[in-house]
Amino acid sequence: MNIYETPLPGVLVFEPRVFSDPRGFFLETYHQQRYRAAGIEIDFVQDNHSYSQQGTLRGLHYQLQHPQGKLVRVVSGEVFDVAVDIRKGSPWFGQWFGERLSAENKKQLYIPPGFAHGFCVLSETADFLYKCTDFYYPDDDYGVAWNDPDLAIDWLLEQPTLSSKDEALPKLKDIQEPQLPAYAVAEV
């Protein structure tokens, strides 16, 4: 497995080793010892599967009291996946990283707790799978506007399809400090 660091410390791209032959392919999608060796020493407690149509944008989401680290991948189609550092006091506050994830490239992205996360679907449809380090709590669900001009994320599409919840998310500068995760120096 190849592991690539990104400009945001803690956000990692994984490229699993794929064993192909005329019958198809095999790969390990998760191996606890290998991910722990890469610094992901958190247990995953929930797996999610999202199916979306082309142009769908989901995000940017985070939980505050129950922050979720996420290991994400695509099993059909292609998405542009984005992590945004929203930890108050972080030297990388407001910076984002995006990666194309697809069934073809089989890459995975790890988004640590304390980051907002979102993705948009570039293919006709996409099946998006992710492992979470904490459970989903509807009362602890927060988010940042996908089109926040201060973030200036290039989503690779013009007019996404959004949920009404995502359409109403605030800009990062409008979120009160108590509703943002804190940065701890030991996190890096």
Active-site option among 62, 110, 130, 142:
130
Taking alpha carbons only, the member of 101, 103, 100 closest to residue 24 is: 103
Active-site option among 61, 62, 110, 142:
61
How far is Cα 12 from Cα 4, in angstroms, rounded to an integer? Answer: 6
Which structure tokens are listed for 48?
């999610």
Question: By three-state DSSP, how is residue 167 classified?
Answer: helix
Active site residue 49: no
How far is Cα 112 from Cα 124, in angstroms, rounded to an integer? Answer: 29
Q: What is the DSSP string of 38-63?
A: TT--PPP-EEEEEEEETTBEEEEEEE
Active site residue 61: yes
Report whether 62 contacts 87 (CB < 8 A): no
Which are the catalytic amino acids?
61, 130
